[in-house]
Amino acid sequence: MTHTLKQAADLLATGKTSATELATDYLGKITAANGALNAFLTIDRSKTLAMAKAADDARAKGQAGPLTGVPIAHKDIFCAEGWKTTCGSKILENFVSPYDAHVIAQCSAAGLVTLGRTNMDEFAMGSSNENSAFGPVKNPWDLNAVPGGSSGGSAAAVAARLTPAATATDTGGSIRQPAAFCGVTGLKPTYGIVSRYGMVAYASSLDQGGPIAQTAEDCALLLNVMAGHDVRDSTSLELAKEDYTRDLNQPLKGLRIGLPKEYFGAGLAGDVAASIEAAIAEYKKLGAEIVEISLPRTELAIPSYYVIAPAEASSNLSRFDGVRYGHRAAEYSDLNDMYERSRAEGFGWETKRRILTGTYVLSHGYYDAYYLKAQKVRRLLTEDFLKGFGQCDVIAAPAAPTVAWNIGEKSNDPVANYLADIYTLGVNLAGLPALAHPIGFGSNGRPVGLQLIGNYFAEAKLLNAAHQFQQVTDWHTKAPTL
C-alpha cells in the first residue's frame, strides 16, 4: 500500500502502523522497481531500519513529532553522514560524507526515515537525468521517456510510489520540470529559505533546495522541516519560522492569476496548452480572476542563465582536483598532470562543457562582455517579474514547452535541452518561489504540469492555490503501473 506524507504521518500517529513496517514495505517496493527505473543510487537497509526503530522508540516514549517515522528519499546532492554522496558523478563515486547537510540534519531531527539516495544529473547539470554517470533514470509513466532533471530520481521515485516524498534541488527548474514530467508536485522556495550548507554547489546564486511529493499539502509539511535559518550559510535568510500549511484551506475567491502572453505563443506544444487551458478554467471555477500580463524579456533568460550558471560552476567545481577527496587518476607525471587526468576521467561531457563555458566567460577580456552583461540582464528579468506582480498575485505558466521526450532524443543537441528550460530559468535568476503540480496528460499519455510563480516569500500562497486545485481534481492521485 502507498501513502502520501500526510497519510503516513496519520497512520503512525494513530498506531495503525509502525515506522519499521513502513520502511520495510517501501524498501521492498524499491527493490522490486529500481532495476527498471534506476531512481535510487544508494540503498542501505540496515541504516534505514535502524532509523525506523529509533523513530518507533521515540513514539513509544511520547517524544515523537508530527513526521517521526515517515519515510523519505534524499537527492544525492545533500551530504549525509555515513552515506555515499556522489552527485551523480564518477569523480565522487566512492565519497562517503563525514557530516550532514542542514537539510539532512533538519529531516533527521524531525524523525524522518531515510530510504535511500536518489539519482540525478551529474552535479545537477541537466534537464533530463541522462547526464548521471550511473545511467539515466526512467520515467515511470513511460520507460522510454526521460523523467526530467536534474532531480529526476526524486520525481520518479515519488511518482512510482517508492517513497511518499523526496528532497530535491532547483537551479534552473530542476524541481518543477521533473515534477511536471512525472505527474507529481514540486516546490522551489524563495532563494535563501532553505540552507545550502552541505548541498554540493553547482551555481551558488541560483541553487535552492525544496520538496517533491504527491500533493501540495505534503510539500508544505516537508518544507516546514527543510526551511530555517542556518548560520553556516551566508545566503540563508534570517526569518521567523513559519507554518507553510497555514493557508492551505483558504478559498481562492479574488486570487488574481497572471498569464504572461510571452509564455503562450509559438513553441508551446498543443497538448500542453490544452491541459493548461483546462486547469485555468478550473481555477476560475474556484474563484480566481485571470489577467493577462507581460514578461517582455523572457527570451533573455536562457542566454543569461547559461552564462551565469556555468561561470559559478567553473569556480565551484575547481575543488574536485584529486587532491583531498574524490577520484584521483591512477597514473600521472606531476601535480598538473594529476589535476588534468583526474578531472578528465571523473567529469562527464555535460559537466565539462559547462566548466569550459564558465571558465571562458570569466576569462580576461570576456568578463565584461559576457558575465557582467548577463548579470545586468538578470536584474532586468527580475524587474519584469516585480512589475507583473503589481497586476496579479500569482503567475501561471507552463513548466516546460512539451511533455517528457524520449531518452536519447536530445542527447546530441545540448542547445535543444537548454531551450526546454525557457519557462523556469527566470524564476531562479530572480530568486522567486515557484511550484509545479499535475494537471493532466499529453496526447501520448505522458504527464503535464502547471507552474505557479509567486512573489518573494509567497510559498504559502502558492501551496494554497495548488491545494485547492487538488481538492477538486484527481490528477495528483494518478499513479503509473510498473
pLDDT tens digit sequence for 425-453:
999 999 999 999 999 999 899 999 999 99
How far is 210 from 225, CA to CA, in rounded Å?
10
Amino acid making up residue 206: L
- What is the tens place of the pLDDT at every residue in 124-163? 999 999 999 999 999 999 999 999 999 999 999 999 999 9
Asked whether residue 330 carries a pLDDT value surpassing 70, the answer given is yes
Which tens digits make up the pLDDT trace of 463-481? 999 999 999 999 999 999 9
Q: Which residues are catalytic?
A: 75, 150, 174
Where are the extended beta strands (E) located within 29-139? Answer: 40-42, 71-75, 113-118
109 burial class (0-12, 13-18, 19+ CB within 10 angstroms)?
Answer: exposed
Residue pair 97/326 in contact (Cβ under 8 Å)? The answer is no
User: How many helices and strands, by DSSP H and E, does the chain display?
Assistant: 15, 11
Mean pLDDT of the chain: 96
C-alpha cell recorded at residue 107: 529531516
Burial pattern 110-139, b for ≥16 Cβ within 10 A else e, equals bbbbbbbbbbbbbbbbbbbbbbbbbebbbb
Q: How many CA atoms lie within 13 A of 242 on its CB side?
A: 16
Terminal C-alpha separation, the chain: 14
Which residues are bridge partners to 176 per DSSP?
Answer: none
Average pLDDT of the residues in 290-296: 97
**pLDDT value of position 208:** 98
Phi, psi angles (nearest 5°) of residue 280? -65, -40
- Name the DSSP letter for residue 263: G
Domains of the chain, first to last = 5-252+458-477 (3.90.1300.10)
Residue 117 has pLDDT above 70, yes or no: yes
Q: Which residues contact 61 (CB under 8 A, 6 or more apart)?
A: none
Sorted by sequence, the CB contacts under 8 Å of residue 160 that are 6+ apart come out as: 33, 37, 39, 140, 479, 480, 482
Q: Which three cell numbers stand for residue 447?
A: 504527464
Contacts of 310 (CB under 8 A, 6+ apart): 203, 354, 355, 357, 358, 361
For cell 513526521, the residue is 67
Cβ of 178: how many Cβ atoms within 10 Å?
39
Give the separation between CA 264 and CA 187, rounded to whole angstroms.
Answer: 22
Cell of residue 197, nine digits = 550548507
Q: Where are the alpha helices (DSSP H) in 65-175?
A: 102-109, 152-159
Cell 516546514 sits at which residue?
224
**294 and 466 in contact (C-beta within 8 Å)?**
no
Collapsing DSSP states into helix, strand and coil, what is residue 90? helix
- From 81, 82, 163, select the one nearest 118 (Cα to Cα): 163
Rounded to the nearest angstrom, the gap between the alpha carbon of residue 384 and the centroid of all alpha carbons in its chain is 24
In angstroms, the CA 104 to CA 59 distance is 20
- The DSSP secondary-structure symbol of 323 reads S
Q: What is the pLDDT of residues 333-390, one digit of tens each?
A: 999 999 999 999 999 999 999 999 999 999 988 899 999 999 999 999 999 999 999 9
The predicted-structure confidence for 208-260, as pLDDT tens digits, reads as follows 999 999 999 999 999 999 999 999 999 999 999 999 999 999 999 999 999 99
- C-alpha distances in angstroms, 112 versus 73, 202, 354? 9, 26, 35
Q: What is the DSSP letter of 189?
A: P
Strand, coil or helix: 303: helix
pLDDT above 70 covers a percentage of the chain that reads 100
